């Protein structure tokens, strides 16, 4: 069950981020989507509980922790502190953010590929590539 839930969480993460990147210029829509995106923390915490309960690989907990850290940084920068680090290219903030972003996506691809199925890993990789294309194409 953990593997399936982890995979579904990865799919949801990718779809949300694609949608966020595609709507980045509409702040009203973006703020509503963002709130629902942060709710992905609930199944992530449940997955960590399942890792312990089912005695699964600690790698799941590590990548879920990275995902949760990414969500915390996102909430902190965008909603609490309201730091516009993406536009100002503040490297002190951008480097940790991007490190968590790429590590999180790497974890969803690799863990799905290795522990669920090769097909699911390829789907996750494809969604990540679409995510990057959406991100790059919506930057001015």
Work out the mean pLDDT of the chain and round it to a whole number: 92
Q: Does 105 fall in a domain?
A: yes
Q: Does 136 fall in a domain?
A: no
| Rg of the chain taking only CA atoms, in angstroms | 15
Burial classification of residue 85, based on how many CB atoms lie within 10 Å of its CB (0-12 exposed, 13-18 middle, 19 or more buried): middle
Q: Does 137 fall in a domain?
A: no
Query: Residues 79-123: pLDDT tens digits?
Result: 888 888 777 777 888 899 999 999 999 999 999 998 889 999 999
Tell me how far apart the alpha carbons of residues 107 and 95 are, in angstroms, rounded to a whole number.
18
What is the count of structural domains for the chain? 1
Domain range enclosing 91? 2-131
Structure token pair of residue 89: 């290219």
Q: Does 25 fall in a domain?
A: yes
Tell me how far apart the alpha carbons of residues 1 and 21 are, in angstroms, rounded to a whole number.
30
Q: Does 139 fall in a domain?
A: no
What is the value of pTM for the model shown? 0.90
Query: Residues 48-77: pLDDT tens digits?
Result: 999 999 999 899 999 999 999 999 999 998
In angstroms, what CA-CA distances link 129 with 43, 106, 134?
Answer: 24, 11, 9
pLDDT at 32 over 80: yes
């Amino acid at each position: 069950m953990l593997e399936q839930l982890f995979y579904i969480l990865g799919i949801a993460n990718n779809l949300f981020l694609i949608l966020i990147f595609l709507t980045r210029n509409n702040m009203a829509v973006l703020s509503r989507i963002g709130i629902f995106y942060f709710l992905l923390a609930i199944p992530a915490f449940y997955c960590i509980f399942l890792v312990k309960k089912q005695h699964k690989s600690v790698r799941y907990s590590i990548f879920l922790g990275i995902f949760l850290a990414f969500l915390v940084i996102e909430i902190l920068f965008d909603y609490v502190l309201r730091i516009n680090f993406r536009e100002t290219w503040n490297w002190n903030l951008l480097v940790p953010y991007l490190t968590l972003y790429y590590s999180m996506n790497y974890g969803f691809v690799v863990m799905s590929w290795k522990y669920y199925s090769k097909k699911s890993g390829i789907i996750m990789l494809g969604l990540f590539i679409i995510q990057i294309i959406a991100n790059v194409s919506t930057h001015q």
